Amino acid sequence: MLHFLKKDKLSGLENSLSEIPYYLPLADEVEIFLSAYKQKLPVLLKGPTGCGKTRFVEYMTHLLYRGDHADQNRKGIDNPLQTVACHEDLSATDLVGRFLLHGDETVWQDGPLSKSVKDGAICYLDEIVEARKDSTVLIHSLTDHRRILPVEKLGITLKANDDFLLVISYNPGYQSVLKDLKPSTRQRFIAIDFDYPNEENEAAIIEVESRVGQDIAIDLARLGARVRRLKNHGFDDGVSTRLLVYAGKLIKDGLSCHRACEIAVSQSVSDDKEIQTAINELTAVFFPSE
Amino acid sequence: MNNPNPEEIYKKLFKRNHQAAESYLLVFKKLSGQLSKIELGLWSSITQDFVEKGWHSWRCALDYLDLSSFCQNKLGNEALIHTGEFALNLLELSQQSAQSYLKGVHIALEKDRLDTILIIESCGQSLKQSYPQASNLLTDFYEIAFQFEMDALNCWCETIGSLAASGRQAVYDYVQLSQKYPEVNWEYASKLYLLSKLLGRSYIEMPELFTGKLHLEPGSEHRGKQFRKLLLQTARTHPDIDWLQVLILKSLKSEKIHQIVLLSEDDPHLLLALIEVVDCLPQDRTDALRTWVEEGRKLSLQNHAAGIAFLKLESNQGQRRLDRILGRVRLSDHQRSLKIYLEGMSDAPLRLSESQSGLVYNEENTIYLPTLIGLYNTIEENFKYLKLAITHQLASYEFGTFRFRYLDSPFPFTHFFHSFNNPDLASTLFRLLESARLDWRLEHEYKGLKQLLRKVKPEAFQSLEFDQDVHELLRFVLWLTLDGSHKGDELSEIQKEILESISILRIEGASVADTAIVLTKCYTLLTDDLGDQSICTKIPSVHYRGRLDLSSSFSVLQFGLSSEEAAKDQQDAEQLGPPAEGDISELVQGDAPDAEGIELLESMTEANETSKKELGPETVEMEGRASSEQQEHSYLYDEWDYQINDYRTAWCTLYEMRAKDENREYVSKTLLELDHVSRQVKKQLNKIRPELHQKIKGLVDGEELDLDRAISAVIDRKSGFCPSEAIYVQKQKQLRDVAALFLLDMSASTDDVIDDQDSGGNKIIDLEKKAVILMAEGLEKLGDRYAICGFSGYGRDRIEYTVCKSFDDSYDNTAKARIGGIKPCRSTRMGPAIRHASRMLQETDAKVKALIILSDGYPQDFDYGSDRSSKIYGIRDTAKALVEASGFGVISFCLTVDPSGHDYLKEMCPAKKYMVMQDISQLPTELSKIYQSLTTS
Ligand SMILES: Nc1ncnc2c1ncn2[C@@H]1O[C@H](COP(=O)(O)OP(=O)(O)OP(=O)(O)O)[C@@H](O)[C@H]1O
Ligand SMILES: [Mg+2]
């Protein structure tokens, strides 16, 4: 199965995409994304942290630009995925581009957004709500029928390449009222809802990603599900698949299950000693002490 | 006196009594070589006096003559004369006393206890001086006194000497008692006797105490404890009696404990403290205890009171250190993490609570656990054990115990058990087997628990104590359910069959229907062998498994089950074999929610068990009042003792209750009377009505530009600095999320009339009430949540916290009547009331939590610290309680009408968080101002 292929190099992948990233589809998200791409509909990925949104975009990019759904045109694009991690100080300039001083001259440099608009790549704005409002407004014209990006500083307007797609992500869990997406922004995207996989799928993911034994992977997934029940204790998202994968990796590397879960799960999700104790006890339910 | 003429005396005597006369002549001859003439004369006249004193007094003469030669021989001439004269003296009182004295002397001579005679004489003499008429007493006294050896005699006489002061009857009782228990250890008994006099109680009814055998006899343990308690009480009130401690030490049973206690021998206060708690200390952990006592001793060198509180287990530190050293686990310390663990393990809305009985059980969505677990020597093991107990309780929900169906009955368990001839046995077996199944399911599902269970099960079996009558086969079943090992060839045929049928439950995925099948088989096997009725079902319960509550209303809850699980149960039900006993084939299982509700039948079979059930934790129902409205809930609070620089744990008991007194007119009268003030208050409170929108400046995004900031940003940019982007203004909604609690001092002193011409003859309490009423009226308009409570009490064991209006109550006629009914009661122990108020406020989860205390003086109670006249203890504890409250996000304010309030409020409250009302009539308006400043920031 395609999905179970192992992806070896996590880093550097955005650019090279030489290998197919491992992604286990959880529902119909792959089909939806494919048709959204075909219809040039911007995509909003909703879901808690570490549930596989980034991985999904990487996987889809590979599928569309290198894999079964790629065409000649797209295969020629060097950087088919431009990922921007949004933060409070991210301004429109950071996305669109800026003049840089180069000796006595000023040289224009494209930002990731204009680059992908030009190239026909996928631009992925991770955690869009973190970005400043001016940058969100910027994408309005790109995400309706016009598909244009005004570059004010150059006084031009870029018309998006046919292969271009804007994908944004958003974690509804910990947004404050202040940082909600404006409806006018929101309603320009189709939304795919992500959540943590069920125990079975999560176990499969952990097994592949961390290469830990199946038994342990299953128990890690079950532990994950238990910890996620503790929502009302100040960590809204529960434990992410990412953390469970980390735990698996540590165990694979020879750490005891208890210690691995302590480091990757209980310590990571909370600073509250009592919650940590409770999670460690949950761990001890699944893993005997050595 | 001249030479005696024996013939003449003989004649005189002869006239009175022949025998005496004969005897006289005989003894005279014997003595004539030994005594001088003068002495002989004295002796003769003494004898003559005896005979002539009374009608029957010749008997005394006989006694005297009887011992004369013996006495002379052993003690010498002088003593002989002395004895005679002493006896003559007694004869003045009564013939019996003289005779018993003389007989006594004779015994002493025989037993060679010569030196006791003088002691007895002097003791008797002083008795006689105290009670010159008490002839019977003296007779008895001499009769018994000569029985003693020297040591015992000394103790005995000493006691008599002390008792003589407390009355003739006391001495008389004592002497009587001494006659009754001749084998008594007098050293012990005499002290004990004194003690009972001191305490104003009599131990005559407790011969085993009196005889000092107490601590040697088995079964006297309880009395021993009682007695020790008493001794301690006395020792505290009579520190001057040094032998008390010796006595107490003697009453300690175990040699090891004795040694531990002796570690603090050099300080009697510590010694007493330690003895007091000795019964709560584990007797078999001497090394650990030694460490703990050493710590207490060290502490006492720095702070004596703290050391005592430590060893008495009254201080927080003392308790904690002991727990730690012994590895004990206190539920309250781990309740939160265990609760979180519980949430992780199950979706069920379960609570954890302390079980008063120390047993594990569940009831109405609450799992009850022992408050203190010390089964193991380490915290870790004990904690794991506690966790296991919780998990086992959960397992019955997770693994579908309550999805048991029988004939579509609404009470499937009861019906099923009653299909057997001996329902008790069926029910017992079911619980046993079902618990075992749950454990085995846990083992299959959770590897970590498997490890734990494998460790705990055999230990649990070890600690079981079986009733004599429990049949061996039943014992065998229990053994199997705890993974007891067995050798095939050692088993009987029946045992083998039982073993085989139970093994079904070990299979992964076994369901409650399997339990029913196995039960039927085991039941048949057992009763075939023994008959239906004869089986004793009193098997001990396995502690960590607790009691499986089959009548639980909880069974209505369905959760945590995958549909596969349910489907499997369905299959199991269909597979149920041919009818064996009862109509087991008709056992039906399904998914339909169990509508058991209040189960009449179920509760019938379990009536005897339910009667044993305790009331909910910390709930004391008041006599004669059944409605939940009138219930008193009790809470324990720690109290800060500045002298030991530590909390005294669970020191105060606070009773939360609904106000009992009502006054329906009070509120409306007040409003009429204070109409103008009321309007002022409302106006004041109106000011804090939130502006619906508030402008927030300095945002990176917003509807408007903030001109100032925009300009400075431009300037920054022009001058080459990095400009701030936070130049926008936004209007944001402001919601008030306030909870306020008004805490009224209901102490007796609030009954005082205010001497102030403006007061209109109001009492302090009236002013408090009126102020609060006006506030309530205003707050109703404002829409803030608020509660009104009062406090008073008497001593640390009874702090009364009266709720007139809780946060959830509406301000209706009942609430108004309750506020109107507030009356002055007793003392002012503020700390616990503040802690409780703070707890109520925390439960509201409001953003702003305000506590407003209205009082009339410094905190005061009769047992506030060791020094009654000192105010410091109360003030420091109150201060601590306020600090704790602020730690929980509660802002507090103290208002007092006590003009001298400045002195202590300064120490008690944070700066600017108190106010002394100069002009009391201003209270209502001041209160609203304070409220405003507290709740708006
Ligand atoms: N469906 C999945 N298939 C394969 N791997 C997955 C899947 N879901 C989660 N993972 C694993 O979880 C890890 C975290 O996923 P990813 O980084 O995509 O999360 P994310 O949703 O982007 O989180 P964040 O919101 O924090 O950026 C991945 O590295 C991968 O190991
Ligand atoms: Mg991501």
pLDDT in tens, B31-55: 888 888 888 889 998 998 888 888 8
Helix B243-250 and helix B186-198, axial crossing angle in degrees, nearest 10? 110
Confidence of residue A230 (pLDDT cuts 50, 70, 90): confident
Mean pLDDT for B596-614 is 34
Tell how far the Cα of B10 is from the centroid of ligand 1, in angstroms.
Answer: 132
Shortest CB distance from B341 goes to which of A282, A286, A287? A282
Helix B95-110 and helix B114-130, axial crossing angle in degrees, nearest 10? 160
Count of residues in chain B: 937
Residue of A nearest to B341 (CA): A278
Alpha-carbon distances, residue B816 vs B54, B665, B809 (angstroms): 90, 9, 11
B822 conformational bin, left if phi > 0, alpha if psi -120 to 50, beta if neither: beta
Confidence of residue B597 (pLDDT cuts 50, 70, 90): very low
Q: Is residue A51 lining ligand 1, measured as CB closer than 6 Å?
A: yes
d(CA B463, CA B479): 12
For residue B468, give every residue at least 6 positions away whose Cβ sits within 8 Å of its Cβ, in sequence order, or none.
Answer: none
Q: How far is B610 from chain A (nearest CA, A)?
A: 33
d(CA B245, CA B722): 81
B344/A226 Cβ within 8 A: yes
- AA identity, residue B621: E
A196-200, B428-432, B702-706, B855-859: segment of lowest average pLDDT: B702-706
A133/B448 Cβ within 8 A: no
Alpha-helix residue ranges (DSSP H) falling in A91-198: 92-96, 112-119, 133-138, 183-186
Q: Which of B618, B688, B694 is nearest to B656 (CA)?
A: B618
d(CA A50, CA B14): 128
d(CA B548, CA B392): 10
d(CA B651, CA B196): 30
Residue of A nearest to B445 (CA): A286
Q: Is the pLDDT of residue A216 over 70?
A: yes
Alpha-carbon distances, residue B22 vs B19, B33, B34, B541 (angstroms): 5, 19, 20, 85
- AA identity, residue B936: T
Q: How many helices (H) and strands (E) does chain B have?
A: 39, 17
B763-773 per-position pLDDT tens digit: 888 888 888 99
Q: Is residue A53 lining ligand 1, measured as CB closer than 6 Å?
A: yes
Tell how far the Cα of B772 is from the centroid of ligand 2, in angstroms.
Answer: 55
Mutate to test the interface with B, among A128, A222, A274 (most CBs of B within 10 A): A274
Residue closest via CA to ligand 1's atom 7 equals A52
In chain B, % of residues over pLDDT 70: 80
The pLDDT score that the predictor gives to residue A264 is 94
Report which of residues B48 and A15 the model is more confident about.
Answer: B48
Mutate to test the interface with B, among A179, A239, A281, A290 (most CBs of B within 10 A): A281
Report which of residues B798 and B226 the model is more confident about.
Answer: B798
Q: Is residue A59 lining ligand 1, measured as CB closer than 6 Å?
A: no
Report which of residues B872 and B623 the model is more confident about.
Answer: B872
In chain A, % of residues over pLDDT 70: 90
The pLDDT score that the predictor gives to residue B587 is 43
**DSSP H/E element including B790:** strand B785-793
Contact B331, A271 (CB under 8 A): no
The pLDDT score that the predictor gives to residue B452 is 93
Shortest CB distance from A285 goes to which of B347, B449, B701? B449
Q: Is residue A208 lining ligand 1, measured as CB closer than 6 Å?
A: no
Q: For domain B666-688+736-935, give the CATH number.
A: 3.40.50.410
3-state SS string over B881-916? HHHHHHHCCEEEEEEECCCCHHHHHHHHCCCCCEEE
Mean pLDDT for B86-98 is 91
Of the candidate CATH numbers 3.40.50.300, 3.40.30.10, 1.10.10.60, 3.20.20.80, the domain formed by A3-193 belongs to: 3.40.50.300
Mutate to test the interface with A, among B332, B339, B340 (most CBs of A within 10 A): B340
A132/B700 Cβ within 8 A: yes
- Helix-, strand-, coil-residue percentages of chain A, each rounded to 5: 45, 15, 40
Q: Is the pLDDT of residue A282 over 90?
A: yes
The pLDDT score that the predictor gives to residue B226 is 60
Strand, helix or coil for residue A281: helix
Contacting residues of A for B335, CB less than 8 Å apart: none
Residues of B contacting chain A (CB within 8 angstroms)? 334, 336-341, 343-345, 347, 384, 387, 391, 446-452, 700-701, 725
For ligand 1, mutation pick of A24, A51, A265 (most atoms within 8 Å of CB): A51
Contact B234, B194 (CB under 8 A): no
The pLDDT score that the predictor gives to residue B584 is 43
Q: Which of B362, B518, B359 is nearest to B429 (CA)?
A: B518
B344/A227 Cβ within 8 A: yes
Q: How far is A179 from chain B (nearest CA, A)?
A: 11
The pLDDT score that the predictor gives to residue B925 is 81
Residues of A contacting chain B (CB within 8 angstroms)? 88, 132-134, 219, 226-227, 229-230, 232-233, 274-275, 277-279, 281-289
Shortest CB distance from B340 goes to which of A275, A283, A285? A275
The pLDDT score that the predictor gives to residue B618 is 35
The pLDDT score that the predictor gives to residue B189 is 64
The pLDDT score that the predictor gives to residue B465 is 82
Closest approach atom of ligand 1 to CA A51: 21
The pLDDT score that the predictor gives to residue B694 is 65
Q: Is the pLDDT of residue B778 over 90?
A: no
Alpha-carbon distances, residue A233 vs A198, B45, B463 (angstroms): 22, 106, 38
Mean pLDDT for B317-335 is 92
Residue whose pair of structure tokens reads 């001593």 in the numeric block? B795
Mean pLDDT for A46-75 is 91
Confidence of residue B301 (pLDDT cuts 50, 70, 90): very high
Mutate to test the interface with A, among B329, B341, B717, B734 (most CBs of A within 10 A): B341
- AA identity, residue B637: Y
Confidence of residue B532 (pLDDT cuts 50, 70, 90): low
Could you give the angle at the alpha carbon of B693 between the alpha carbons of B692 and B697, nearest 5°? 155
Mean pLDDT for B118-126 is 92
Residue closest via CA to ligand 1's atom 15 equals A52
B193-218 per-position pLDDT tens digit: 666 665 554 444 444 444 444 433 33
Confidence of residue B578 (pLDDT cuts 50, 70, 90): very low
Q: Is the pLDDT of residue B57 over 90?
A: no
The pLDDT score that the predictor gives to residue B586 is 40
Alpha-carbon distances, residue B887 vs B826, B904, B925 (angstroms): 29, 22, 29
Question: For A263, which DSSP code?
Answer: I
The pLDDT score that the predictor gives to residue B834 is 96
- Distance separating the N- and C-terminal Cα atoms of chain B: 114
Contact B341, B446 (CB under 8 A): no
Residue of B nearest to A273 (CA): B337
Strand, helix or coil for residue A107: strand
Domain range summary for chain B, segments of one domain joined by +: 1-101, 113-180, 184-251, 403-586, 666-688+736-935, 693-733
Contacting residues of A for B343, CB less than 8 Å apart: 229-230, 232
Residue whose pair of structure tokens reads 């006006």 in the numeric block? B774
d(CA B251, CA B889): 51
Mean pLDDT for B563-573 is 48
Strands A122-126 and A43-46, sheet pairing? unpaired
Closest approach atom of ligand 1 to CA A126: 27
The pLDDT score that the predictor gives to residue A260 is 95
Mean pLDDT for A197-217 is 95
Contacting residues of A for B387, CB less than 8 Å apart: 281
Alpha-carbon distances, residue B721 vs A107, B713, B714, B715, B717 (angstroms): 22, 9, 10, 8, 5
* Average pLDDT of the residues of chain B: 80
Could you give the angle at the alpha carbon of B639 between the alpha carbons of B636 and B641, nearest 5°? 155
- Nearest 5°: phi and psi at B811? -85, 70
Strand, helix or coil for residue B391: helix
Q: Is the pLDDT of residue B259 over 50?
A: yes
Strand, helix or coil for residue A104: coil
Mean pLDDT for A55-71 is 92
The pLDDT score that the predictor gives to residue B278 is 78
Mean pLDDT for B883-903 is 87
Q: Is the pLDDT of residue A238 over 90?
A: no
B390-434 per-position pLDDT tens digit: 999 999 888 988 888 888 888 888 889 999 888 888 998 999 999
d(CA B920, CA B758): 8
- Nearest 5°: phi and psi at B529? -80, -35
Report which of residues B579 and B236 the model is more confident about.
Answer: B236
B444-476 per-position pLDDT tens digit: 999 999 999 999 999 998 888 877 777 788 888
* Average pLDDT of the residues of chain A: 85
Q: Is the pLDDT of residue B627 over 50?
A: no
Mean pLDDT for B625-647 is 77
Q: Is the pLDDT of residue B882 over 80?
A: yes
DSSP B619-670: EEPPTT--SGGG-EEEEEEEEEETTTTEEEEEEEEEEEEE-----SSHHHHH
Question: For A52, which DSSP code?
Answer: S
Q: Is residue A114 lining ligand 1, measured as CB closer than 6 Å?
A: no
Q: Is the pLDDT of residue B617 over 70?
A: no
Confidence of residue B759 (pLDDT cuts 50, 70, 90): low
B655-714 per-position pLDDT tens digit: 999 888 888 888 888 888 888 888 888 888 877 766 556 677 777 777 778 888 888 888
In chain B, % of residues over pLDDT 90: 28
Q: Which of B670, B859, B900 is nearest to B762 (CA)?
A: B670
Q: Is the dihedral of CA B196, B197, B199, B201 positive or negative?
A: positive
Which tokens go with B667?
A: 């509120």
Question: For A237, which DSSP code?
Answer: T
Q: Is the pLDDT of residue B66 over 50?
A: yes
Strands B799-805 and B646-658, sheet pairing? parallel
Mean pLDDT for B221-246 is 61
